[in-house]
Amino acid sequence: SNEFSLTTPLFEKATIKLANGKTLTIKANHPEKNVYINKVSLNGKEIAANYITYQELMQGGVLDFNLSSTPNKSRGIAESDYPHSMTTGKIVSIPYTTKDLDLFIDNTTVDLHSATKDVKIYYTLDGKEPTEESALYSEPIAIAATTTIKARAYKDGFIPSRIFTIQATKAVFKNPVSALAKENGTNFHYYEGYFSAVDQIQKAPLVEKGIIVEPSINGAKQADHFAFIFTGIIFVPEDGVYEFMTTSDDGSVLYVDSIKIVDNDGSHAAISATGRIALKKGHHTYKLQYFEDYEGEHLSWGWKKPTSEKFENIPASNLFIK
């Protein structure tokens, strides 16, 4: 279509060198708090549509987003303002749910909706493809076990939607290990070499191993091209679903009870990744892998406990050596 949809920028300013040698600068006012587009202009000329063409972009210059904390409901509402679709005919929008169905406890309900008005949504709970002979959605669906939900929306005169598929996963709590946890600390193995993924770490020469208070890369003997593997036992203070996080530059991967929970692998700047697991109160094993490729190094981790609203550091007092 040669059209690029306009959405709120992530950054206040970004500069792109185009293939024709020109430069395009994208600007936005406080996108961290202003999530709605009030107005867009290219080189001072307002763009009323919700898209910009390839030819316009290749002119270079300044693409300026005027953002707001409240929506401008008068902008981009004409049908001519919509980006063109490669699909012909009227098609029902795919169904969706507003519920978080990952690791629910006891039971939950699933709501189904479509952005297309006045549709009928049919669904299945046995993995089969939904048709108009399937169950008709009329109220939230009660789920008490891990279930694959498939749904399709229909409307007279429209092509049926694509099939929406989601798995509602019931939490199965991992039992604590029987290993003794008498001494606080973390086991570490330190390596040096060139890495682009954590599975390469143990192929490199082991330089040092020992015990430290908690996972930390402060003991690295060089600025770049090194790796750590931290292992031990972590005390979980209550039953529930825990969300773990690692922030790393470059890659990190966290296993709890031998299950990969956080995958933050690969060479990259400092970014965060999260993952969830249902744990019973007690001691559980963990393995945290990290490698530093080049240009900056960082590693930190944390958890969000079942009764917490935010992530917090994992106390060193909860960590024990094997």
Q: Is residue 176 included in any domain, yes or no?
A: no
Q: Is residue 274 included in any domain, yes or no?
A: yes
Q: State the pLDDT at residue 287.
A: 98
Tell me: do 27 and 53 sit in the same domain: yes
Task: Give CA–CA dist 243/308, Å, rounded.
Answer: 10
Q: State the pLDDT at residue 111.
A: 97
Residue 131 belongs to what domain range?
A: 102-170
Tell me: do 305 and 246 sit in the same domain: yes
Q: State the pLDDT at residue 233.
A: 96
Tell me: do 130 and 69 sit in the same domain: no
Asked whether the beta carbons of 22 and 56 are under 8 A apart, the reply is: no
The CATH number for 36's domain is: 3.30.2080.10
Q: State the pLDDT at residue 109.
A: 96
Q: State the pLDDT at residue 19.
A: 85
DSSP for 38-85? EEEEETTEE--SSEEEHHHHTT-EEEEEEEESS--TTSS-SGGGSPPP
* Ordered mean pLDDT values, 10 residues apiece, the chain (322 residues): 93 93 95 96 96 94 97 93 85 94 94 97 97 97 97 97 96 88 93 96 96 96 96 96 96 97 94 95 97 93 94 96 87
Task: Give CA–CA dist 36/254, Å, rounded.
Answer: 36
Q: State the pLDDT at residue 89.
A: 84
| pTM of structure | 0.73
Q: Measured between alpha carbons, how far apart are the two ends of the chain, in Å?
A: 59
